[in-house]
Structure formats: structure tokens, C-alpha cells
Structure 1
Amino acid sequence: MHPTRDPKDLTLLEVLNLPLSTGQFKEWRDKKRPYRYYDTPDGQDIEKKLFVAAKYGLGFGTFLSIMDTSLYSNHLSFYAMMSRVAMFIVPSTAMFTSYAAVSYTALKLRGKDDVFNNALGGVVAGSIYGVWIKSGRLGYTVSVILALAGAAHKHANDLGFKPFNLDNVIKEYGNHRDPFQDSSLVPIGEKGWTTGHD
């Protein structure tokens, strides 16, 4: 492989097997990266933030519905299966988007960018869960848990701590599709091996 070639000229197989430490490819990859929730500060780009939240909610709801329809529920018709799928997708998407919308609205109304806005978003998302499950006690419990989780995530992001950041993982010998994976926490240093002819 030629790391000096323009990444746009590489074939798909070369891109998949290209070491991610190549600077030019890393710059190209970062340009193509989709928008993440905290790419812009809170209070900006609400449309993008809502789209990202809806995407996460849709993915989470799809995962839950696949687990439910394939492992738990016994459906006699396609309509029954699709109504069961919608029963998971709609509330989870509503929870994620309401978290983003309420956090944004609280920020605009209060004029302060702090953890209370995200905690309020977590309370509303947990309330939607309680309505979905039809249990006030469980809705209250999930509201408190999501409020604490939202506040902790906002606080960690403000401090610059990224708990699930995969950008700094050492990928010297390829990516997750390669048989040559480097799972070490530190780079491999100089070996003391000789050829035996010294």
C-alpha cells in the first residue's frame, strides 16, 4: 500500500486494510466523520443534535424490537409483529429526542450552560419511559437515573473526559477487520533479537 497516494484513489480493499496511523488517511477519515452530539456547544445546531439523538433512539429501539420479536414474542401476523416493533421504536426515539430538546430549551430559558439542563432532559426522558411502561414508580426511578446520567455525562464532557473515545486506540497494524491486530496498551518497542551471526 502507498500511504502517500491520495486516499480518494484507493480501492475499498486498500482503505479497509490501510493502517490508521497514516496521517493523510486519518485527516481524510476525520473529514468524513458524521456529526456527533458534542461537536458544537450546547445551544447551537439543535437540528443536528435532534437528528443525532433520533438516530441513537431509532437504533436503540430497533435493537430492542429485534431482541423482543425474535426471542420473546410469538407473533401470528405481520401486523402484530410491526405493532410490537413500533412499540419499542417510537418511545425510545421520543426519549432520546426529548432529552436533546428539553436540554436545549432549558439552556435557552435559563441562559446558563450547566449540568442542570441535561438533568432536566433526563427527567423528561425517564417520564416518557414511565408513561410507556405504565408505571409511575418505575418512571420516577428511571427519571432519577437518567437525570444523574445526563448530568454526569455533561460534567465529564465539560472536563474533557471522553469515556468511550476510540480515537486514541493504537491501530498501528491495521483495523478490526485485519488478522494483524495490535491490542497492546503501549506501542511495541525495540526488540533485543539478533540474527545469531553477531
Structure 2
Amino acid sequence: MENSVKKGPYRYFDTPEGEDTFKKLWAVLKPTLVVAGGLGSIDVLMVTHPKGVPNTLGRYAFIGLPIVGIASTFVLTTNTLVNIRKKEDKLNWFLGGAAAGSWFGAWARKPIVGFNMALLCGFAAFLHKCVLDQGNQLIPTQYKRSAGGATACLRDFSLFADRPGKWTT
């Protein structure tokens, strides 16, 4: 009997495209809400310094809602296109990225910004889908530690390192 119990939270690629759309949306919105709240806090505390609760909430909404809208638009567009076209291909991701990128134009109140970002985000989503179709990852979850780089701070450079257990001379 196969173990059908999955451990850990739901991830975007646990089910095929077009299935479990709202689970996929929630899996994407959880980190998106954290990012939106963080960027909103940075804006409120370090940039705009609004006075009063309504102005502060307005700044949070101005920063956070488009970010949430961009992520939601991408997930809903790609999954809806899979269900409409009955194909899971790169065109769905391009159109989803283009729809999400068009939010930038509404945010900036400039149509040319929306057009350019739609093309850029659509192309980025297309490339990401190409990488995923080949079985690779853009951002690997596991990586090899090298002698230098970002993991150098995790190494022990002391002259006399602590020895494990009951080590004696």
C-alpha cells in the first residue's frame, strides 16, 4: 500500500497546472503577503513617514495591494489558461506573466510602463517555465558549500576548534 500522506505544506508544483487553483493561490500568497508587509513597513518607517492611522494604512495598501495583485493575477491567469486551452505549455506562463506585469502600469499610472513590464514579466515567466521543463531550478534549494562565498561565515576559522565529545590530547 502506497503512503499517500504528504508531509509539509502544500507547494505550487504538488499538483499539475490547472488543478487545485485555490491551493496554488494560497501557496503563492503566503510569502507574497510577508513581502508586501515588509516592503510596506520599509516605506512607512523609512521613506514616507505618514502621520496618522488612515495615512499609514493607505501607504500599506498602496505598496501591498499591487504586490498581492501581481501574484494573484499570475496564478489565476496561468491556471485558467490551462483549463481553457487544455494544454500545459510555455504560452500560458508568458500570458500569465504579461497579465501580472500589466499591474505595474496601473500602479505607476503610465500605460507604457505597463506594456514594457508586461513584456518583461511575460518573457521572464516564459524562461522560468523553460528551465522548469528541463528539470532544473532557477534558485536551487540545496547547494554545495565552497571554500569562500556566502557560506564562508559558517566555517570555523579559530586556531583551536572545539572538539566533539570526550576528545582528549
TM range (shorter): 0.7 to 0.9
- The one-letter code sitting in structure 1 at the alignment partner of 2:104 is Y
Rounded to whole Å, the distance in 2 between the matches of 1:182 and 1:154 is: 36
- 1:23-34 superposed matches below 5 A: 31-32=7-8, 34=9
Rounded to whole Å, the distance in 1 between the matches of 2:57 and 2:119 is: 31
Rounded to whole Å, the distance in 2 between the matches of 1:95 and 1:181 is: 36
Rounded to whole Å, the distance in 2 between the matches of 1:74 and 1:128 is: 25
Q: What TM-score, normalized to structure 1?
A: 0.67
| Per-residue CA distance 1:76-110 (angstroms, 9 max, x = gap) | 11221111001111111111011000001111111
Q: 1:142 aligns with which of 117, 126, 130?
A: 117
| Per-residue CA distance 1:122-171 (angstroms, 9 max, x = gap) | 1111112211221111111111111011111111111111121223556x
For the Cα contact (< 8 Å) 1:100–1:121, is it kept in 2? yes
Aligned positions, number = 146
- Equivalence for 1:45: 20
- Equivalence for 2:66: 91
For the Cα contact (< 8 Å) 2:128–2:138, is it kept in 1? no
- Asked whether 1:181 is paired with 2:148, we answer no
- Equivalence for 1:167: 142
For the Cα contact (< 8 Å) 1:37–1:49, is it kept in 2? yes
- Asked whether 1:126 is paired with 2:126, we answer no
Point out where structure 2 has 5 or more consecutive residues left out of the alignment.
Answer: 1-5, 146-150, 157-169
- The one-letter code sitting in structure 2 at the alignment partner of 1:142 is M
Q: 1:59 aligns with which of 22, 27, 34?
A: 34
Rounded to whole Å, the distance in 1 between the matches of 2:110 and 2:101 is: 11
Greater RCO (Cα-Cα under 8 Å, separation 6 or more):
1
Rounded to whole Å, the distance in 2 between the matches of 1:150 and 1:102 is: 12
Q: Which moved more, 1:62-71 or 1:141-150?
A: 62-71
Rounded to whole Å, the distance in 1 between the matches of 2:33 and 2:55 is: 19
For the Cα contact (< 8 Å) 1:75–1:81, is it kept in 2? yes
Q: Which structure features the higher share of helix residues?
A: 2
Residue 64 of structure 1: SS of its match in structure 2?
Answer: helix
Rounded to whole Å, the distance in 2 between the matches of 1:148 and 1:69 is: 32
- The one-letter code sitting in structure 2 at the alignment partner of 1:63 is G
For the Cα contact (< 8 Å) 2:100–2:118, is it kept in 1? yes
Deviation at 1:182, TM superposition (A): 5.3
Identity %: 27
